[in-house]
């Protein structure tokens, strides 16, 4: 059974930083792409960052490009999302997702429960 557990969310002021973590168990972590999504109340879930199996390729939504960094540690079965220069519009539930194969182009098949990030103005 594949499990994804996020941590690191919380309340932060505008301009602050947070690092989210997602620990994965139940599959060969290093073979699959990983992604971070977010969903704000009343809005659709959006993919904000993804990383391929090796960490050698990443992609970001325009809304977070230059502020957020996705990375992975295959030895620890963990993917991270470093978030800098946070804005109130970054407030959302952040979810980790595991890809269906080594690249994010094929989509995601497993999801975590999410961790809440709230940015105060």
In degrees, to the nearest 5, what angle opens at C-alpha 112 toward C-alphas 82 and 29? 75
What pLDDT score does 98 carry?
A: 96
Rounded Cα distance, 25 and 103, in Å = 19
Average pLDDT over residues 77-106: 95
Of the chain, the percentage scoring pLDDT greater than 90 comes to: 87
What's the pLDDT score for residue 26?
87
How is residue 5 written in tokens? 């557990």
């Amino acid at each position: 059974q594949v499990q994804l557990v996020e941590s690191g969310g919380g309340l932060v002021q505008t301009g602050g930083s947070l690092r989210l973590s997602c620990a994965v168990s139940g599959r060969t972590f290093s073979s699959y792409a990983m992604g971070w999504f977010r969903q704000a109340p009343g809005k659709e879930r959006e993919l904000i960052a993804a990383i391929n199996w090796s960490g050698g390729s990443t992609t970001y939504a325009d809304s977070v490009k230059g502020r957020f960094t996705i990375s992975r540690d295959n030895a620890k079965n963990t993917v991270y999302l470093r978030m800098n220069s946070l804005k109130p519009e970054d407030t959302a539930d952040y979810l980790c997702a595991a890809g269906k194969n080594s690249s994010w182009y094929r989509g995601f098949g497993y999801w975590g429960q999410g961790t809440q990030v709230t940015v105060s103005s």
